[in-house]
Amino acid sequence: MRQIAPKVAIELMNKNFERWGMPRKIKIDNGRPFVNMRHRDTPTLAILWWIGLGIEVIQNNPASPQENGAVENLQATLARWSHPKTHTRIEDFQKALDEAGRIQREVYMVSAKGYKSRISLFPELKTNTRVFSYECFDFQRVEQYLSERVWRRKIRHNGRIRFMGKEFHMGRPYAGKEVSISFDPIEKLWLIHDADGTLLNQSKREIVSQREILDFASR
């Protein structure tokens, strides 16, 4: 997964949405391609794309694979069923994965659920009404999401802080000071406060735009 470019990964996810409809929630771990490895609390364009589609994004705690136990177990099962080392062509491996996925959903009976298939337990897998289209994206959801969060950073020795790929100049006298960054969705302002709540800086600078997210997520 770390070798997949974020834009390619999102294109593949969009194809899944086209086939199965959009989920209400997506749970991710703390690695590439969906998470910023240097600042895991900073939302990436991938996360903001999902937020704009109306999908809740749940991010696991670092180094906690047990929080994604169902997915980890499923990957092991698919590996056993599809025998990846026996395939010399990626197309053959994909067919084997598709068939293993079909069996997992439609044939395998879950003993803990009264020996029913997953498709009978979750018929919405085939009848999901949350149909995907690029027109589903609403930037207001992104702004609301940003307004509900606070990010903490330390001002560098040159008097600047870097946030979501952009730099804010705070001044050298503030070097070493910890500050909090928040967003006002009404005034479209980024606000920077010190630990005592004193406003040190505010900016109408556009940190991330609707166009930037759509360009990233589109083919």
Structural element, H or E, at residue 157: none
Find the DSSP H helices in 21-122: 45-52, 69-82, 90-102, 118-121
Query: What's residue 2's pLDDT?
Result: 72
Query: What's residue 72's pLDDT?
Result: 78
Per-residue pLDDT tens for 69-104? 777 788 888 889 999 999 999 999 999 999 998 998
Query: What's residue 46's pLDDT?
Result: 95
CA distance 32 to 5: 8
Query: What's residue 63's pLDDT?
Result: 67
Neighbours of 98 (CB within 10 A): 11
Query: What's residue 69's pLDDT?
Result: 77
Q: CA dist 145 to 153, 195, 213, Å?
A: 19, 23, 14
CB of 104 closer than 8 Å to CB of 70? no
Q: CA dist 201 to 26, 104, 138, 145, 194, Å?
A: 34, 54, 28, 21, 10
Half-sphere CA count of 63, side-chain side, radius 13 A:
0
Amino acid at 22: M
Query: What's residue 127's pLDDT?
Result: 86
Mean pLDDT, consecutive 10-residue segments, the chain of 219 residues? 87 93 90 84 94 94 72 84 92 93 91 93 88 95 96 94 89 92 94 93 90 93
CA distance 208 to 216: 11
Q: Which has the closest alpha carbon to 6: 36, 26, 30?
A: 36
Query: What's residue 52's pLDDT?
Result: 97
Amino acid at 94: Q
Query: What's residue 4's pLDDT?
Result: 86
